[in-house]
Amino acid sequence: MTGRTGTSAGPGPRRALTTGRNGATIMDMAHTLFAVLTGLGLIVGSTGCKTKPKAEEKIWERVKIGELAPPPNDRLPTPQFFATVSMDVYVLELPADRVDRLDDLWPILSADPIKLSSYTAFTENSFRMRYGRMDVWSQVQSLLAEAGALKVATNAMSLPADETTDLPIAELPTGREITFVGNNLMRQTARVRPGVLALRLRAEPIPWARGVFKIIGYPTCTIPFASAIAPLQARARENEYYFAPAAFAVQMAPGDLIVIGPDKYTGERQTLGGLFFNKLEGTLFFNPAKRTPPKVKPAVRVYVLICTAIND
């Protein structure tokens, strides 16, 4: 009977189910859908339940142990280590009329470790310099205090190896001429641009002596310029002036110190030594031991550099 489903009581062929007026069987539609899905790759294989389903594959099972391990050392970027020298810098001022009291200071220190391009030119430019260890630091402080010196500035500096670092000494608001004595002991004149007179310091490692650096210093008239662009840095350096006659070199380790001061008070700021050490406008000095009123006096500056640490 049409529109009825089921089987007859006796054996006989089974009638397919039909749908719609076109008489397409549901079995035919299933075969068509199966073929489409197989063609799209959504169904793999046609053996039905006779083939055991493939176990789920874990992605890390195909990864080799060597691929999980870090690459060999020759493929890793080389870690960069920057050796540095740490220094404490003390700037002191004492009355210019008591500069001769520094003569009590120099004998307790040593000039032997210090290398100069010309000792005569160094002193003719009114520079004096001595070396010592921290065991004399308290005595140095005591002698400077007796001379009436006041500590006016303290700086902590880090000197990267093979690079330069500037310790500002005096501002140069306008271009000017600076006279100095050259290594040939002839008086010379440098025409410098507006900027800063600085003590330029350079720390150089000593390959055979770990924990010891060679410290090179030289006065430099420079134009402060902060830029990471090398050509701009080079252009700025073209306008610098280096005073080689006042350059020095000394090997330093933690606990070493150097003292730089004037040989005498010249009462001017036209020469290299006068610009480096003299303070004509004066400093307010007060000595409580004498109970005298504070007084502004012309002053000279003394610089103490102490090596506190070396990271190499």
172 in helix, strand or coil? strand
- Sketch the domain layout of the chain as residue ranges: 84-311
Structure tokens that stand for 185 in this block: 């002991």
pLDDT for position 312: 82
Q: How confident is the model at residue 30 (pLDDT cuts 50, 70, 90)?
A: low
Within 160-239, residue ranges assigned H as helices are 230-237
Tally of CB atoms within 10 A around 144: 23
pLDDT tens track for 116-125: 999 999 999 9
CA-nearest of 222, 217, 218 to 203 is: 217
Q: Which residue has the higher pLDDT, 13 or 298?
A: 298
Is the per-residue pLDDT at 13 higher than 70?
Answer: no
CA-nearest of 142, 140, 71 to 107 is: 140
Is the per-residue pLDDT at 20 higher than 80?
Answer: no
What are the beta bridge partners of residue 120? Answer: none
Is the per-residue pLDDT at 230 higher than 70?
Answer: no
Q: Which residue has the higher pLDDT, 174 or 11?
A: 174
Q: What is the mean pLDDT of residues 130-156?
A: 95
Q: What is the mean pLDDT of residues 58-70?
A: 44
141 in helix, strand or coil? helix
Is the per-residue pLDDT at 1 higher than 60?
Answer: no
Burial of 150 (0-12, 13-18, 19+ CB in 10 A): middle
pLDDT for position 68: 44
Beta strand segments in 7-83, E:
18-19, 24-25
pLDDT tens track for 68-104: 445 555 555 555 568 999 999 999 999 999 999 999 9
pLDDT for position 225: 64
Work out the percent of the chain whose per-residue pLDDT is above 90.
62
pLDDT for position 293: 84
pLDDT tens track for 265-307: 999 999 999 999 999 999 998 877 777 788 899 999 999 999 9
> What is the separation of C-alpha 221 from the centre of its chain, rounded to a whole number of angstroms?
22
The position carrying tokens 């290398």 is 115
* Separation CA 297–CA 148 (nearest Å): 11
pTM comes to: 0.72
Q: What is the mean pLDDT of residues 139-162?
A: 94
pLDDT for position 294: 87
Residues contacting 50, CB < 8 A, separation 6+: none
Q: Is residue 206 within 8 Å of 213, Cβ to Cβ? A: yes
